[in-house]
Chains A and B, each alone.
Chain A
Amino acid sequence: MIENLLKDIHTEVIVVCGTGGVGKTTLSATLALRAAELGRRVCLITIDPAERLADAMGLDELGNSPRRVHLPLAKGTLDALMLDAKSTFDSLIIATLGVEDGTKVLANNFYRNISTSLAGTQEYMAMEKLAQLREDQHNTWDLIVVDTPPSRSALDFLNAPERMNRFLGSKLLRALISPQNPVTRIFNVGVNAIVALLSKILSSTVLSELKDFVVLAADVFDTFAERSNRTYESIANNKTAFVIVSTPRSDALQEAAFFAEQIRADGLRLSHFIMNRISRADMPIEVLSDKALLAAYQKEHAKYRAQLENIREFSKHHTADVVLISESIAQVQDVDDLRLLAAQLSPNWG
């Protein structure tokens, strides 16, 4: 049962993944709320929630730092924040470099592009935010629920630091920063040829902007790399549980399978699949005087059975507990709506 996971004091981080459009953000909030009701002190990191969700949690807006969600009946507490990748990045730059150099970096064209539009920045900053919260965790929270950015891969989030390190550690980048470094001198003949080629392709203005950026921000990169490695290590253990959200459509389940394989391959703990938006036509009906109504219902019931069949097939290949959440049309409006969803986490027949 997923409630046992939420209650378990050894669960310190829950990472919720899934492709876009499956209801990941709402379900992350639902899990966080339920955990708070069960007595945990929870912090929820959301990525780009619908305005409605912020409203639902009684917050004017979700800021980049945690705010308390008012839950008078809960035994525990819930704080929520919305990741602002750019301002997280900016404050890191300033914190590492100081105001003077930091401001230069913030003004660099290259940095501006990277911090707003580079694919992976959001993932990277989500990791960074998690790192910051982990540092405070034992004082303030005993559970952090992370709603990951919508991406094709569960590991985009986890691998962001590794990708960044690979990029930062590249010989080419090092050579660009310090072309006179004796260790790389022999190597430099080749590097110079490549730099010439790159400048031909990228144009020399682009390359010089890049160079400025790299020189200014080299220290930041080293700090990032170190921090993110630590964060990764701190979540790559049994204290962190991964939950995959999917819908019962076959295409969504294939994406979920892809996620599950990656999580397993990385030796991480996959704890639950949440199957969202299951049809409510869960009872067979054979006889009804209103024939049109019967036909419409039976069509929906057939869909329900196809959905369960999809899930059954999926479960043959991917073992983790499955939680079913019924479809509801209304968007979440307030905490009570979240509570209704949360009630489905603990089926009363269990």
Chain B
Amino acid sequence: MPIPRLIFVTGKGGTGKSTIATAIALINAQSGRRVLLLDVQRRSSLHDALGVEFEVGKSVKVKDLPLDVLSIDSNDSFLDYLEKFYNLRIAGSLLKSLGAMEFATTTAPGLSDILIVGYAANAARSNEYDLVVVDAVPTGRFEKFITTADALMDMAKSGPIFDQALLVKEEIEADTTSVIGVTTTDELAEIELVEMIEFLREKGITLLMSVLNQSIEASVSLGQPNYPELNEKQTRALIETMTLLLEKTTRSQRLKEELTGITPLVAIEEYPRIDESALQHIGKEIIKGWKSL
């Protein structure tokens, strides 16, 4: 499999896709690749973990690393688009002052998505970066998001939008572009992941791997029902905690079995605090899993 230069990370809300995307970007940058981490949902949390200031539309460099983080807004990419393809920065500003930007991105279906996906595709093609990691929309919206070019090509049969959409489509379907799906042991998250994988297969989009986040593997049993060393509260806490833990372990195992044959899978254990060191650990685990594929 060729080394990807564009990776989209998606998953059900709350599965930790931002964390996974950030970890992948960080670990690649630490090994010397020039990386752009693109955040399409304008979340501040991953900026905090990387210790950089959050500002929509402004790319910030992570200290001492070839890593840029950008929270992208469709209006920014619209301006960028006008400048790149029409040399129309001034017209862009004029449009902005008239409220036309919102107008266009609000009304034209998929325009906002195509601008964002297009921005990612252009950045991946450019010589500025070796890898672009997109912290993408949740799986519920991902199918529309990733195939926005198809919809747009359908509407605009020719013209600059069509050309731009075609470029984006080619980049998305290239084998240097791939998707990473994130799930937890949550049943709904798993269902969404499996549906998305099927969809990607139909569309000929590469799935690099899936990540089982917050996986639990406890190999203990509760054993005897009473614990003379413990008081009542401790016994309750122990039994409740272990019951939960064992159920989660069972779920993790079942999920791994269910996903075998559907997708390569890397399991990541739960980190209550997502700081730089947690991100590094997660990144290393993913790289390790990736290499073993």
Q: Which residues from chain A sit less than 8 Å from chain B, CB to CB?
A: 19-22, 50, 110, 113-114, 117-120, 150, 152, 163, 166-167, 169-173, 190, 194, 197-198, 200-203, 205-206, 210, 247-252, 254-255, 258, 279-285, 287-290, 292-293, 296-297, 300-301, 303, 306-307, 310, 326-329, 331
Contacts and interface: CB of A to CB of B under 8 A. Distances in A.
Interface of B: 12-16, 18-19, 41-46, 48-49, 82, 88, 91, 94-95, 98-100, 102-104, 106-112, 138, 144, 155-162, 186-189, 218-223, 227, 229-230, 233-234, 236-238, 240-245, 247-248, 251, 270, 272-275
A329 B108 CA distance: 43
A284 B188 CA distance: 33
B14 A20 contact: yes
A20 B270 contact: no
Nearest to A173: B103
B98 A252 contact: no
A328 B230 CA distance: 23
Contacts of B12: 20-21
Contacts of A326: 240
A309 B270 CA distance: 16
Given A293-B220, A296-B242, 10 more contacts: A118-B109, A152-B41, A194-B94, A203-B161, A206-B108, A210-B108, A258-B44, A290-B223, A297-B242, A306-B273
15 contacts: A110-B107, A113-B109, A117-B144, A150-B138, A171-B99, A194-B100, A197-B95, A202-B156, A203-B158, A251-B274, A279-B241, A287-B229, A300-B245, A328-B244, A329-B243
Given A170-B99, A280-B237, A296-B218, A251 B13 contact: no
Contacts of A110: 107, 109
A20 B138 contact: yes
B203 to A, nearest CB: 18
Contact of A119 (B43, B112, B251): B112
A113 B105 CA distance: 13
Contacts of B95: 194, 197
A117 B88 CA distance: 29
B274 A21 contact: no
Contacts of B240: 280, 326
Contacts of B160: 200-201
B104 A198 contact: yes
A172 B98 contact: yes
A256 to B, nearest CB: 10
A1 B162 CA distance: 57
In order of increasing CB-CB distance, the 5 nearest A-B pairs are A21-B14, A20-B13, A113-B109, A170-B99, A254-B45
Contact of A288 (B13, B157, B229): B229
A27 to B, nearest CB: 13
Contacts of B221: 293
Contacts of A258: 44
A254 B43 CA distance: 9
A152 B245 contact: no
A122 to B, nearest CB: 11
A251 B18 CA distance: 9
Contact of B238 (A166, A252, A285, A289): A285
B188 to A, nearest CB: 6
B45 A251 contact: yes
Contacts of B98: 170-172, 194
A118 B241 contact: no
B241 to A, nearest CB: 4
A331 B234 CA distance: 25
Contacts of A197: 88, 91, 95
B273 A203 contact: no
B105 to A, nearest CB: 9
| Candidate in B49, B103, B155, B186 with the most chain A CB atoms within 10 angstroms | B103
B237 A281 contact: yes
A285 B230 contact: yes
Contacts of B248: 329
Contacts of A201: 82, 104, 159-161
